[in-house]
């Protein structure tokens, strides 16, 4: 618009006709010229604001992601559930052959979404009831999709339990507005570990067989394999849970190697898996007796917490990865549970001495005892990114949320005697 005004102003000025014949025309021309200049000035100041407003307008929900080819109904509609990621928690539990999904907001003390999914087979193992396995139900908040794994056979007698008579394991996905889950991937055996990566909408799966760890990365959109990578490992090595890096580029996993000829003497290492190609690098963290498998990496990927020693005399350590500094964290009494949880800001480490619940504050280098109902818990599931809340198992086996700032308990209304298969705070 400014160029138009300048071109008009730069045009040669024609001779002015005699006033007695063109007085009226001159008045009109002057009015038009003033109006054009005024519009140019207004446009000069308002155009950047209009551009900014246009560029920051939220996209339509129907254009978030392409619809998978094997989807039964559209995944994205105008009425889709879009969670507030600040303080909401995803909870998956099972009761008989039903998978119960709950998304709960402790700020409003309300259920944001709930869903029941009928299952044809047994869910895979979850880290809450067995080691070296991630939760069998996981959630991608960006695509609003639920993923779960089944193992296809009975743990007790090994019989096949799939409706088609097979024993194969399945990876399913389902959105909150779908009624029937879709088989995303079929497996001969369930993965030892798997994790959802919401940064690139993929799944990383790990399979252990002898001295080989096979890594598979698959697309959550259509189940296609992105890469397969085999890594040799020592026969005396145990691998723990997957932990996604804060930028989604890497997946971390600790390994514990039993040294031949030295009873209970082990080496703890931190493995870093490149999510683009499956390449693995390792860093030795610690060597000592009876290193427990329930290690925990802080959300900022700078601290690794772990126990070493017997339950009655185990020492709690925090290893600072960038500086390679090892700190022994004092606590009172023996261990009630090896469960360790970091706060969302990576500044507090929650641990469970026998008969109590405490967290160590890295800033003040002091331990803080948590009183009230959570003190009687035997398991803490997750600490919120906002730092205000953590989820724990209450004495009646239900799941409750503790508000650290207000010293207040919030009931999620989950039933007693349920089996927990997945708990995670919804974060960006």
Q: Report the DSSP pairing between strands 202-209 and 193-197.
A: antiparallel
Rg (CA), the chain: 30
Query: What pLDDT score does 428 carry?
Result: 58
Question: Which position has the higher pLDDT, 28 or 64?
Answer: 28
Provide the pLDDT for residue 21: 37
- The per-residue pLDDT for range 78-89, each reduced to its tens digit, is 223 333 346 899
47-56, 96-105, 375-384, range with the lowest pLDDT: 47-56
pLDDT, residue 381, reads: 93
Q: Return the residue matching tokens 């799939």.
A: 162
Over residues 266-323, the pLDDT tens digits come to 999 999 999 999 999 999 999 999 999 899 999 999 999 999 998 778 999 999 999 9
Q: 384 to each of 56, 244, 345, 348, 355, how far by Cα in Å?
A: 29, 16, 9, 12, 23
Residue 123 clears pLDDT 50, i.e. is over it: yes
Q: pLDDT tens-digit profile of 392-421? A: 998 888 899 999 889 999 999 888 778 899
Domain ranges of the chain: 2-57
Q: What is the pLDDT of residue 418?
A: 81
Supply the pTM of this predicted model. 0.78
Q: Is the pLDDT of residue 77 over 90?
A: no
Give the pLDDT of residue 86. Answer: 61
Q: Name the band, by pLDDT with cuts 50, 70 and 90, for residue 120.
A: confident
Mean pLDDT of 162-190: 92
- Write down the pLDDT at residue 359: 94
| pLDDT for residue 422 | 93
- pLDDT confidence of residue 387: 86
Q: Which of 22-26, 105-109, 154-158 is the least confident region?
A: 22-26
Q: Partners of 183 in the beta sheet?
A: 172
CB–CB of 240/251 below 8 Å? Answer: no
Predicted pLDDT of residue 35: 45
């Amino acid at each position: 618009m400014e160029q138009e005004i300048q071109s008009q102003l730069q045009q040669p000025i024609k001779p002015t006709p005699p006033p007695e014949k063109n007085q009226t025309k001159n008045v009109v021309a002057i009015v038009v010229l003033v109006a054009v200049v005024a519009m140019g000035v207004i446009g000069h100041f308002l155009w950047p604001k209009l551009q900014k407003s246009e560029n920051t307008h939220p996209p339509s929900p129907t254009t978030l992601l392409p619809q998978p080819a094997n989807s039964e109904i559209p995944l994205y509609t105008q009425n889709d559930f879009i969670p507030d990621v600040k303080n909401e928690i995803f909870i998956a539990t099972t009761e008989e052959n039903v998978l119960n999904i709950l998304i709960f907001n402790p700020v409003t003390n309300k259920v944001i979404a709930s869903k029941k999914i009928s299952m044809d087979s047994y869910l895979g193992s979850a880290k809450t009831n067995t080691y070296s396995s991630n939760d069998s139900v996981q959630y991608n908040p960006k695509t609003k999709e639920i993923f779960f794994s089944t193992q296809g056979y009975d743990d007790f007698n090994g019989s096949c339990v799939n409706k088609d008579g097979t024993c194969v394991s399945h990876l399913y996905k389902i959105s909150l507005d779908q009624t029937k889950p879709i088989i995303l991937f079929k497996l001969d055996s369930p993965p030892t570990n798997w994790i959802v990566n919401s940064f690139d909408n993929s799944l990383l799966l790990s399979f252990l067989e002898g001295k080989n760890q096979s890594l598979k990365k698959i697309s959550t959109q259509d189940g296609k394999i992105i890469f397969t990578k085999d890594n040799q490992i020592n026969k005396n090595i145990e691998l723990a849970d997957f932990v996604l890096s804060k930028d989604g580029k890497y997946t971390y996993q600790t390994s514990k190697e039993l040294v031949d000829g030295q009873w209970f003497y082990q080496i703890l290492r931190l493995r870093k898996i490149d999510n683009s190609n499956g390449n693995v690098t390792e860093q030795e963290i610690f060597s000592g007796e009876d290193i427990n498998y329930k290690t925990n990496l802080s959300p900022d990927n700078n601290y690794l917490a772990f126990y070493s020693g017997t339950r009655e005399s185990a020492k709690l350590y925090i290893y600072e990865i960038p500086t390679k500094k090892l700190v022994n964290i004092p606590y009172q009494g023996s261990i009630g549970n090896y469960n360790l949880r970091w706060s969302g800001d990576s500044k507090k480490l929650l641990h469970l001495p026998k008969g109590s619940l405490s967290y160590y504050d890295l800033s003040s280098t002091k331990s803080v005892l948590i009183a009230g109902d959570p003190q009687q818990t035997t398991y803490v599931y997750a600490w919120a990114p906002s730092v205000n809340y953590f989820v724990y198992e209450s004495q009646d086996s239900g799941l409750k949320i503790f508000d650290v700032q207000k010293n207040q308990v919030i009931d999620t209304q989950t039933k007693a005697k349920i089996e927990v298969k997945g708990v995670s705070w919804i974060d960006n």
